[in-house]
Amino acid sequence: MSVYLDNAATTKPCEPAVSAVFQNMVEDFGNPSSLHKMGLSAENNMTDARKAIAAALVCDPKCITFTSGATEANNTIILGAAKNYGKRNRKKIVVSAIEHPSVAEPIKYLEDSGEYTVVRIMSDRNGVIDPDDFIKAVDNDTFLVSCMLVNNETGAINPVKKIFSYVKRNFPECITHCDAVQGFMKIPIKSADIFADTIVVSGHKVHAVKGVGAMFIKNGVRIAPLVHGGGQEKGLRSGTEAVPLIAGFGAAVRALMGTMKTAYSNAETINAYLVKSLSKLDFVKINSKQENNSPYILNFSVEGIRSEIMLHYLESKEIYVSSGSACSKGAHSSVLTAMGISDKLADSAIRVSICRTTTVGEIDVLVNAIRDGYANLAKTK
């Protein structure tokens, strides 16, 4: 039996998502821009998906635009906001230092152009952004602030609402952007409640398929498109829409909608069990914050064993985890460094990310394998 504990990297598509993808490939395969019945069916299926994402973010479906994923959505919003709002004397961006590369890199791209200044706010020792530090950096020159909801490496939940409400109250012109990929369908996100002008989510993190994401753009906020062409998605994202993937995304969201609360408390139980089991191993050090963290992600270090070595040991037992973050591909984690974790411990960091179907039995399999792996690998060092 394999044990998949890398859900922050991607999740297994759920049955309703797979069925919807299939249906939109074999039956409703029309182009939503076509004026005939086939086009209309595809268009209707997209409308249903848009409504599902909007219901989950508690917003008007008109505010939802589909993209190829969160990376494209983050790029569109950041570069599109810079184009329309980063003008004359408003050239400053304030961003957390623990963002995913799909936020950090387009911001660095703007900085490297020499036209914009960027202030990066470090996290505290728990991996959380201090709202006061963030707020202090925002001023009249700032046109964009960006802070992720849940960090993908540690599961730290940032006080986005506190930061954004302050920014919107004092600098209403400033765009507030939130990468909510790791929080979506896990913790309730009401777009208006967190004072976000723009929010980004991804399909494959919520049991839909890869290659689809969505951006919420509040009414009145003007984001310049990145992709120009046939004017699909109200001109914000040209190109024939990936209807099967979009329909699958909608189906997955609908399937998860009613049970977020129970899933969250299950995840808390599994996370607590994992922490308790790991705490019996004196060579394991937990890096994730213990309270108010996303229960879906736990980051810890196995002292003296490099991440990749443990990862491949676990893989040989058909247990799948991640080293720090899947996107960092073995590079030093800036998130763990920002938390004051030594390079040595960061080098042995493992990220376990669970989903709503993870069981206590699977956690036992993992923890036993870590214990055995440590005994074997420490001997061969």
Looking up tokens 């994202």, which residue turns up? 237
Residue 106 touches ligand PMP, criterion: CB under 6 A: no
182 is a site residue for ligand PMP (CB under 6 A):
yes
Within residues 188-207, the interface with ligand PMP by CB under 6 A covers 202
Whether 136 contacts 129, CB under 8 Å: no
Q: Of 333, 345, 366, nearest to 283 (Cα)?
A: 345
As a whole number of angstroms, the distance between CA 49 and CA 168 comes to: 30
Nearest to 5, CA basis, from 290, 336, 363: 363
Residue position matching structure tokens 């848009």: 50
Closer of 118 and 327 to ligand PMP (Cβ) = 327
Which range touches ligand PMP (CB under 6 A), out of 107-115, 139-147, 175-183, 329-337? 175-183
As measured in angstroms, the least distance from the Cβ of 325 to ligand PMP is 7
The helix/strand/coil state of 331 is: coil
Catalytic one of 63, 147, 327, 355: 327
Nearer to ligand PMP, 171 or 249 (CB): 249
By CB under 6 A, residue 213 contacts ligand PMP: yes
Q: Is 146 helix (H, G, I), strand (E, B) or coil?
A: strand
Shortest approach of ligand PMP to residue 64 CB, angstroms?
A: 15
186 binds ligand PMP (CB under 6 A): no
Tell the residue number behind the tokens 């703007």, with chain if given.
110
Binding mask 54-93 vs ligand PMP (x if CB under 6 A, - otherwise)?
A: ---------------xxx----------------------
Q: Specify whether 327 is catalytic.
A: yes
Nearest-CB residue to ligand PMP?
Answer: 69
Burial of 305 by CB count in 10 Å (0-12 exposed, 13-18 middle, 19+ buried)? buried
- CA 131 vs. chain centroid, Å, equals 20
Q: Which residues are catalytic?
A: 327
Interacting residue ranges for ligand PMP, rule: CB under 6 A: 69-71, 100, 102, 148, 152, 179, 181-182, 202, 213, 327
